[in-house]
Structure 1
Amino acid sequence: MKYLKLNLFATLLVTGITAFAQEVKLAPTPPMGWMSWNLMEVNVNETGVKEIADAMVNSGMVKAGFNYIFIDDGWQGGRDNKNNIIPDAKKFPSGIKALADYVHSKGIKLGIYSDAAPLTCGQYTASLNFEEQDARTFAKWGIDYLKYDYCNAPEDVATAKQRYGKMASALRKSGRDIVFGICEWGPREPWNWGSEVGGQSWRTTYDIRDKWMDTEGKGGVGIYNVVDKMAGLAKFSGPGRWNDGDMLVVGLHGLKGPSSAFNGKGCSQAEYRSQMSLYCILNSPLYASCDIRKMDEDAKTIFTNTEVIALNQDALGKQAERKIKTDVWDVFVRPLANGDFAIAVLNKSGITQATKINFADLGLPDKYEIKDLWQHKVTGKANKWTGDITSHETKVFRLKKV
């Protein structure tokens, strides 16, 4: 009996460990890719998605780690006579399965969109009460990620948890590993419950616009509004559970469409680079949204900076903490898996500012080799950094103890 009990305990222990491993293996690092919404809105289509996939490969983005395409709202064509959700035949004449096969052949995964209500934000067919059937369909098509929106749904937290939990359960039972992105926009504070109900990421704010910041309180979240929100959510982030800052607006340059709402007139190059820098150090999923088929060299340089991306994809998965916040400066620090540290220094003011950052003030008392990850070079070995930072620019350094 003693041995039987020990064997039973060992079996239960192994089973528990295996179940835990299955739960955390999805999105061990933040997903990276391209999302269709800002460029294509509800006009997303098969030809455009294939062209984007080709451009992601040719531009070096896939090699840099951008290995998802996320199809947003507008792909749906209703349901068939067996209530299976189907794509719009004009937009996707070959079907989603064929498109997934094409995208997979390029080394890219495919994400799709639905909503926890009868209709989506764009008033297309959604998944409420069809969760298991739709999850099986998505798995059959070869889908790797589901963005699950919350338009046309009740405002209370309990219903959101129930609806998101139901879809998460359906995805787990679908027979395919499908990453689950909760797109509730933040009012019900999904960072408190998103992982509990089965999500791998959760949006922290309403939709981002192509601007630095909403300063008038008239609506429309800007880059810094998102960063400021996410800065207080570090304890909720880690492997398989990510605070999601919404799309990268890098390279949009005031493009007419969703990103131009609420005075989204475009950002400076320093601001676009800051979004990438700060999203990387804060572990947000990274999904580009500009037309990468014809993006400029500045955008390409941002999307293919593998040294900055390495911070976002670091195996330790620990989101940076904001150590300094003044009217002018935000300074973030995060540990990395190999023992290095990364710091990001943002000048929030409207003019170039000189600063001296003493590493000891950030809890880093040693001397470090300092590598500037945008200049791609070591700038010295010291216990501090001194220099000028332009308006809305973010300096990113990797510190190696010497």
Structure 2
Amino acid sequence: MHFIILLPLLFVLSSALNNNLGLTPPMGWNTWNRYGCDINETVVMTNAEMLGILGLDKLGYRYVNVDDCWNLATRDSMSNRTIVDPERFPSGMKALSDFVHDRGLKFGIYSSAGTLTCEGRAGSLGYEDLDAQDYVSWGVDYLKYDNCFNEGIPSFERYQTMKKALEKAAHNHTIFYSICNWGLEEVWQWGNETGNSWRTAGDIFNSWESVKYNFEVNQLHPDVAGPGGWNDPDMLEVGNGGLSHTEERTHFALWAVVKAPLILGCNLNTISNRSLSIISNKELIKLNQDSKGDQAVCVHNCHSLKDSEDVQVFGGWNKDNGGYYGLVAVNWNDLESKPISIDFKSLGLTKSSEEYCSVYDLWNKGVHIGNYQGKYLIPNIDPHDNVALKIKCKRKASSLE
């Protein structure tokens, strides 16, 4: 990460990025978390094919995103166009994009709002119009736009410039615009006026502490997210081996309930069946993709996670599937299992403790657990584990599903 100069945000918000994209959080796959800079067109092609082979495309994972290291450090001396790395991607980006599109998927690419990308390739600062034209001509559907080597120019100015370039180049081909300025410079104030998603924290790493930190930072401004623009705590680490199976479950459930982008970052050619079962959970995907798009918030034990040893509950209302309250209860304790009682009235689900609610288990195909009056007791949540529930409440137990 490179140091930048934080300048006062002296701007007037312009109109939102009205491209009719990101009405639900994006789902897909990205090269970075697993491969870093060690990428080539074969890596992208084989993982794109695996989205179909594993049936992940049918679940909504549609974007195939090439991250840093696809281009050279210098631009063409005559045209100033960015140069695709001829050794890593000999067929070029248009051919790779066509390959992805031929499989019913969408193609994404990466650049930086700086003179160079974070890995020292040619950035887009000063060349936004040219790069946007290339992206459109290649059929790019998603742009992840990073923040390295930014010359100290305020983020809002740099990200607005690319927004305008994408709009100008569009010609009926719109591009999902992912702002990656690491949550700096009050991005929550202008992110949803500029892009379809905005990073709320620095890069995620393949560890429980990193997952925990990025999730907590992502919870600071839930009110600014919704259809068309999403808080982004960074990509998923499920399948990369740094998390236990329990931690992978919790990582995925938390990202799902807070309506974060679900962008995979593992090698799909070698993913384990246990990790595949997590990212294939239809009920949690439905929760994430709800059309209402309200980010779940903390509703129990709401304090800093830094030294937390408690069970916290994150929940919110969802519109689809008849309407329901979705929640994830997480045990942050490192050693001890913990119980938690879900009080329907305190969550605003009922008006009195006499009313009944129907509870469903999102980790078990949405199975109906039972009908409960006033409260639902979870007797045991293991360390770092979670319980994910759908709750529907009515006046009489007999009228419940």
For the superposition of Structure 1 and Structure 2, which TM-score range results when normalised by the shorter chain? 0.7 to 0.9
Pairing 1:101–2:102 present: no
> What whole-Å deviation, never above 9, does each CA across 1:160-179 have from its counterpart, x for those lacking one?
10100000111111122001
Post-superposition offset of 1:287? 0.9
Cα distance, 1:48–1:369 mapped onto 2, change above 3 Å: same
Aligned to 1:319: 295
When you count helix as a share of all residues, which structure comes out higher? 1
> What whole-Å deviation, never above 9, does each CA across 1:134-179 have from its counterpart, x for those lacking one?
00100000000111100112456xx210100000111111122001
Q: Which letter does structure 2 place at the counterpart of 1:347?
A: N
* TM-score, length of structure 2 as denominator length: 0.87
Pairing 1:368–2:360 present: no
Structure 1 unmatched ranges of 5 or more? 1-19, 214-221, 254-265
Identify which range, 357-366 or 58-67, moves more after superposition: 357-366
Cα distance, 1:67–1:324 mapped onto 2, change above 3 Å: same
Instruction: Tell me how far apart the structure 1 counterparts of residues 345 and 207 of structure 2 sit (CA, whole Å).
Output: 34
Aligned to 2:284: 308
Choose which of 280, 286, 291 in structure 1 pairs with 2:267: 291
Instruction: Tell me how far apart the structure 2 counterparts of residues 390 and 22 of structure 1 sit (CA, whole Å).
Output: 43
Instruction: Tell me how far apart the structure 2 counterparts of residues 352 and 21 of structure 1 sit (CA, whole Å).
Output: 45
Aligned to 2:12: none
Do the aligned residues in 2 keep the contact of 1:251 with 1:295 (CA within 8 Å)?
yes
Q: Which letter does structure 2 place at the counterpart of 1:397?
A: L
Aligned to 1:202: 198
Instruction: Tell me how far apart the structure 2 counterparts of residues 367 and 223 of structure 1 sit (CA, whole Å).
Output: 35
Do the aligned residues in 1 keep the contact of 2:16 with 2:192 (CA within 8 Å)?
no
Post-superposition offset of 1:364? 1.2
Q: Which letter does structure 2 place at the counterpart of 1:227?
A: F
Aligned to 2:226: 238
Cα distance, 1:155–1:369 mapped onto 2, change above 3 Å: farther
Pairing 1:340–2:324 present: yes
Do the aligned residues in 2 keep the contact of 1:154 with 1:160 (CA within 8 Å)?
no
Post-superposition offset of 1:353? 1.2
Aligned to 1:147: 144
Pairing 1:355–2:340 present: yes
Instruction: Tell me how far apart the structure 2 counterparts of residues 40 and 287 of structure 1 sit (CA, whole Å).
Output: 14
Aligned to 1:257: none
Instruction: Tell me how far apart the structure 2 counterparts of residues 231 and 329 of structure 1 sit (CA, whole Å).
Output: 16
Cα distance, 1:134–1:21 mapped onto 2, change above 3 Å: closer
What does 1:13-92 correspond to in 2, within 5 Å? 23=18, 25-77=20-72, 78-80=74-76, 81-92=78-89
Pairing 1:113–2:137 present: no
Instruction: Tell me how far apart the structure 2 counterparts of residues 167 and 228 of structure 1 sit (CA, whole Å).
Output: 29
Q: Secondary structure at the match of 1:270?
A: helix
Choose which of 180, 183, 200 in structure 2 pairs with 1:183: 180
Do the aligned residues in 1 keep the contact of 2:71 with 2:82 (CA within 8 Å)?
yes
Q: Secondary structure at the match of 2:136?
A: helix
Do the aligned residues in 1 keep the contact of 2:311 with 2:338 (CA within 8 Å)?
no
Q: Which letter does structure 1 place at the counterpart of 2:220?
A: G
Instruction: Tell me how far apart the structure 2 counterparts of residues 34 and 100 of structure 1 sit (CA, whole Å).
Output: 14
Post-superposition offset of 1:355? 2.1
Post-superposition offset of 1:269? 1.0
Do the aligned residues in 1 keep the contact of 2:17 with 2:195 (CA within 8 Å)?
no
> What whole-Å deviation, never above 9, does each CA across 1:273-326 have from its counterpart, x for those lacking one?
111100011111111111111100111001111110111110001111111126
Pairing 1:385–2:365 present: no
Q: Which letter does structure 2 place at the counterpart of 1:386?
A: L
Instruction: Tell me how far apart the structure 2 counterparts of residues 286 and 48 of structure 1 sit (CA, whole Å).
Output: 20
Instruction: Tell me how far apart the structure 2 counterparts of residues 90 and 154 of structure 1 sit (CA, whole Å).
Output: 30
Do the aligned residues in 1 keep the contact of 2:132 with 2:169 (CA within 8 Å)?
yes
Instruction: Tell me how far apart the structure 2 counterparts of residues 354 and 24 of structure 1 sit (CA, whole Å).
Output: 45
Post-superposition offset of 1:87? 0.8
Pairing 1:398–2:390 present: yes
Do the aligned residues in 1 keep the contact of 2:204 with 2:211 (CA within 8 Å)?
yes
After TM superposition, the runs of 4+ consecutive aligned structure 1 residues lying more than 6 A away are none
Q: Which letter does structure 1 place at the counterpart of 2:64?
A: I
Do the aligned residues in 2 keep the contact of 1:185 with 1:207 (CA within 8 Å)?
yes
* TM-score, length of structure 1 as denominator length: 0.87
Q: Secondary structure at the match of 1:361?
A: coil
How many equivalent residue pairs? 361
Q: Secondary structure at the match of 1:87?
A: coil
Aligned residues: CA RMSD? 1.7
